[in-house]
Structure 1
Amino acid sequence: MATIELPAGTLDYSDSGGDGPTVVLAHGPAVDGTLWRHVVAELQDQYRVVVPTLPFGSHLRPMRSGADLSPDGMARLLGDFLEALDLTGVTLVQNDAATGMLLAVSGTPAAGRIARLVLASIEAFDNFPPGLPGRAIWLAAKVPGGLAAAAQPLRFHPLRRLPLAYGLLSRRTVPREIADRWSWPLLHSAGAREDLRTYLRGARPDRLQRAAAEAGGFDRPVLVVWAARDRVMPPAHGRRLAALFPQGSYLEIPDSGTLIPEDQPNALSAAIDTFVSKG
């Protein structure tokens, strides 16, 4: 792991290096960059694969006091990351959160670094915060100490399969060592919880509806990949989303929940490879 200093704070990230096309993999709340471990293993021989751990609650380095970690602030942070590493011609792959889409449609110089966009079962339209687990932590963030209380079931590996934990997000049991890693900051770091709380307090459906209205301005190739069995992000949203982009296409992956990199990493890796190879 490496670190990089950004205006919002210090990010951990991994970088496979190499001379291949650059693929940046971005995750959502309550997981870290290890979500992408299998996809990295599949792609790293042909691509430079860069994976930031974003401040969504499972990060070890809390952001600076006062950092803008609203959904738009997270998008700017991701853009700052691309600029700090001087990454260009990027294929940006986003799972779960809408961060990558918000950056892509922002019209900022950092958005110009994105050559292709892959949206893999993300928050969209009025599904923000998404589904039962998203709304549960959103409500918990409104109550003092609510996130700390909501995280307590994560102490026990069997309870991580509950619908309010990772049960609706993945059709398979997340390996204990990975779930331990995702859970530790939520359980033990007040700073990590505060960063997640800041993000959740800014979660409003109208923001994603505006982003959808702006999708027509992103004129580069977009692949919308959706989990066919998703119980948090409706597949109908994926099809609608793909139709909004001038160069949008849609692909469903069977037998997967929202966390496609966890449930079907080989299928997702193959889809990314095919998409990038088309140029």
Structure 2
Amino acid sequence: MALSASLGPPHEIDLAGGRIRYYENGTGSPVVFVHGLLVNANLWRKMVPDIAAAGYRCLTPDWPLGAHAIPVPDADLTPTGLADMMAEFLARLDLEDVTLVANDTGGAIAQIMLSRGTARVGRVVLASVDCYERFLPPPFNVLPPLARMPGSIRPLTELLRIRALHPLPIALGWVAKHQVPYEIVDSYLLPSRNSAAIRGDLRRFLKTAHREYTLDAATRFAKIDVPVLLAWAREDKLFPRRLAERLAAELPNAALQWIDDSYTASPEDQPELLTRMILEFTRSHEQPH
């Protein structure tokens, strides 16, 4: 399924674990986006055009988190493996002074990568993300034990065919406050529904998604000296405000801003506000050339 044209043309890149697709729009300093579980680059479709128009090179990969189009059966899809994949993506494209923008599960992967080194990253935006004990957060923390049961993922993807279930907390109900268009939801859910190989990738990630990774990354927060913007949904049901405040206290160079009328998926619920926050933050922390 083709993703939104607003992301720019698709490209593919071979990394150590396999090939991933990414989209590129604009020129200038790079902004790399990291989506969460069971979504893809379409999450950023409302934001990329304005950020690109402001003079930035927007790169939006489809990370192998269950809504990707190209299977990566040989990839290490543990959280640390994905963090290394993210670092390799930046290195292979020779990106420097990157603004890294992460949401939801993608924020956990970003924290793990940054805790292992901040080379190539100039600043970071964490928009309502998994952290500390909440990786994965309730009610999604039922998925890792479920994934350890053979054949468990397909019934789950088939169940999500039923649109009436989407408002439930275990589906989209606690992720997006406002209804996501059906065609966008389809772009998120069809890859795992239609492909056994994609389901295999999803299962391999879920089997290892455990708070030990985020808690370990947090022990090295003192080493993350790049500026961090915590753009947090005030009404977030998955990641309570206390988590944002804890991150703000423990990351050495962090600022916290609240997003109203949104749940975790602020790129869906409040794309204009999040875009404005990102641009203001990036401009205020630009490196002198």
CA contact (8 A) 1:131 1:233 kept: no
Offset at residue 165 of structure 1 (A): 1.1
Structure 1 range deviating more: 46-55 or 191-200? 191-200
Alignment of 1:84-233 (within 5 A): 84-97=92-105, 98-107=108-117, 111-132=118-139, 134-233=140-239
Q: Distance in 2 between matches of 1:231 and 1:177?
A: 25
Q: Distance in 1 between matches of 2:186 and 2:13?
A: 24
State the partner residue of 2:4.
none
- Which runs of no fewer than 5 residues in structure 2 stay unpaired? 1-9
Candidates 45, 52, 57, aligned match of 1:48: 57
| TM score, norm. by length of structure 2 | 0.91
Q: Spell out, residue by residue over 1:87-123, the C-alpha distance to the aligned partner (whole angstroms, 9 max, x if none).
A: 110000110011111111112xxx3000001111111
CA contact (8 A) 2:25 2:49 kept: no
Offset at residue 202 of structure 1 (A): 1.4
Q: Spell out, residue by residue over 1:166-216, the C-alpha distance to the aligned partner (whole angstroms, 9 max, x if none).
A: 111000111111101111112111111111111111122122112112111
> AA paired with 1:198?
R
CA contact (8 A) 1:116 1:220 kept: yes
Identical positions, percent = 37
Candidates 76, 79, 83, aligned match of 1:75: 83
Does the alignment pair 1:242 with 2:248?
yes
CA root-mean-square deviation: 1.2
Runs of 4+ deviating beyond 3 Å: none
State the partner residue of 2:3.
none
Give the 3-state SS of the residue equivalent to 2:203 in structure 1: helix
Q: Distance in 2 between matches of 1:28 and 1:270?
A: 21
Q: Distance in 2 between matches of 1:5 and 1:206?
A: 29
CA contact (8 A) 1:137 1:150 kept: no
May I ask how many residue pairs the two structures share in their alignment?
Answer: 273
> AA paired with 1:205?
R
Candidates 38, 44, 49, aligned match of 2:46: 38
Q: Distance in 1 between matches of 2:189 and 2:48?
A: 22
- Which runs of no fewer than 5 residues in structure 1 stay unpaired? none
Give the 3-state SS of the residue equivalent to 2:252 in structure 1: coil
Candidates 68, 80, 87, aligned match of 1:59: 68
Q: Distance in 1 between matches of 2:164 and 2:31?
A: 34
| TM score, norm. by length of structure 1 | 0.95
> AA paired with 1:34?
N
Q: Distance in 2 between matches of 1:13 and 1:256?
A: 27
